[in-house]
Amino acid sequence: MDFEKIYNEYKNIVYNLALQYVQNQADAQEITQDIFLSIYKNLNSFQKKSSIKTWVYRIAINKSLDFIKSRKRIKRRFFFDAIRNNQTKEKVQFSHFDHPGVILEQKEAVKKIFDAINQLPERQKTAIILLKIENKTQKETALIMHCTVKSVESLYQRGKNNLSKLINNEGK
Amino acid sequence: MKENEKKYVYKVNMNVDFLQKIKSVEIPKHVASRILLNIQSNRYEKISAVYIRRVAAIFILFLVADISTIVYYHQKHKENENDSNSYIELDKNQIYNE
């Protein structure tokens, strides 16, 4: 398999998926590089048990979640530093909302939804992103997430309910 | 279904459906080419890093082997010295006793 061919075919898919997770162009570009580096390294060990598309999606999701985890670790460190320096009132934010796929008029509304999505458990978040933003079918989502269609359905329903609770609580 | 529940379900669906308005974007061309270049050049960096690490590991192995050999011979030499000293002392004692 030719790496360049895979890169040209999937670069936009991967970039968009990373954007849905971090909602920031610079971070999404960094994640895209990490994803393709991982694909480049593991291309020879790809066993073709799934399609290349599913494999690329899995790597992209895992790398995006890893990136968020690493950011949270840094954030926690900064938070403790802030406690030490009595600066807890200031909210430490790393990357602002900068999603190029959202038009200006809807920016505030979409940001609010994404703020809630970011608080969801990883798998619920992934189910919502794949089904509603990436427009994948339940079967495709199940393949990517390595679970059954029923699990995807239940993850999506729970995610949707939690999302609504979070949005309503913020509004109060 | 109660009226409140209906409203709740409608609101939930509205929130999620709103996400479908997000458009798909293309990665900027200069970024795409930079990423490809970075990845392809990274291979050589990785190879050189692995090579340097191996050479360093072999060097450390030889260093440890050398040090342990020196320590071993030093101890052996000391033991030999001690042995010869005790012979001398034994001789002296023998003289006095006689």
pLDDT for res A91? 43
Contact B24 A12 (CB under 8 A): yes
CA distance A160 to chain B (A): 7
pLDDT of A89 reads 45
Q: Which of residues 76-95 of B touch A (CB under 8 A)?
A: none
Model pLDDT for residues B44-88, shown as the tens digit of each residue: 555 566 778 888 999 999 999 999 999 999 888 888 877 766 666
pLDDT at A96: 84
Whether A33 sits inside 8 A of B11 (CB atoms) is no
pLDDT score at A122: 94
Whether the full predicted model's pTM is greater than 0.80, yes or no, is no
Nearest CA in chain A to B19: A133
Q: pLDDT-derived band of residue B95, with 50, 70 and 90 as boundaries?
A: low
ipTM for the complex shown: 0.77
Q: In order of start, what are the domains of chain A with their CATH numbers?
A: 1-101 (1.10.1740.10), 102-172 (1.10.10.10)
* Beta carbons of B21 and A113 less than 8 Å apart: no
Q: What is the mean pLDDT of residues B15-35?
A: 87
In tens digits, chain A (172 residues) has pLDDT values of 789 999 999 999 999 999 999 999 999 999 999 999 999 989 988 888 889 999 999 999 999 999 999 887 776 666 667 666 665 444 444 578 888 888 888 888 888 889 889 999 999 999 999 999 999 999 999 999 999 999 999 999 999 889 888 887 765 5
Question: b/e per residue, A20-41, with b = 16+ CB within 10 A?
Answer: bbbbbbebbbbbbbbbbbbbbe
Averaged pLDDT, B6-19: 70
